[in-house]
């Protein structure tokens, strides 16, 4: 099972095109197999689309970009339908 610490706050997680919070993911993870949890943890780091137990996940890790003046820019990704 996942813990709150395993999900960084800067990661956006969508389940069936709905943005969800950590508690929702933790409740879902109680029913996952070890392999499903491993896949989820890997994709938390790199992002992407995948399905676990019939639920479609879309994970967007925070991406930081720097402008020419050295200040940080942030790009926001929306889930793909």
Query: Is 69 contained in some domain?
Result: no
**pLDDT score of 27:** 95
What are the strands, taking DSSP E only, across 1-81? Answer: 12-15, 18-19, 48-52, 55-60, 64-66, 72-74
Q: Is residue 73 part of a domain?
A: no
Q: Is residue 71 part of a domain?
A: no
Structure tokens given for 77: 């990704």
Alpha carbons 7 and 36: distance in angstroms, whole number: 15
Question: Residue 41 belongs to what domain range?
Answer: 4-62
Q: Which two tokens stand for residue 66?
A: 């720097």
72 within some domain? no
Tens of each residue's pLDDT in the chain, 81 residues: 888 888 988 899 999 999 999 999 999 999 999 999 999 999 998 999 999 999 999 999 877 666 666 666 555 566 665
Structural domain count, the chain: 1
The whole-model pTM stands at 0.74
């Amino acid at each position: 099972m996942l813990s709150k610490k395993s999900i960084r706050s800067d990661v956006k997680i969508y389940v069936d095109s709905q943005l969800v919070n950590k508690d929702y993911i933790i409740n879902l993870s109680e029913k996952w197999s070890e392999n499903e949890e491993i896949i989820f943890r890997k994709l938390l780091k790199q992002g992407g689309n995948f399905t676990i137990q019939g639920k479609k996940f879309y994970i967007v890790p925070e991406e930081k970009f720097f402008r020419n003046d050295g200040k940080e820019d942030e790009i926001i990704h929306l889930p793909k339908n």
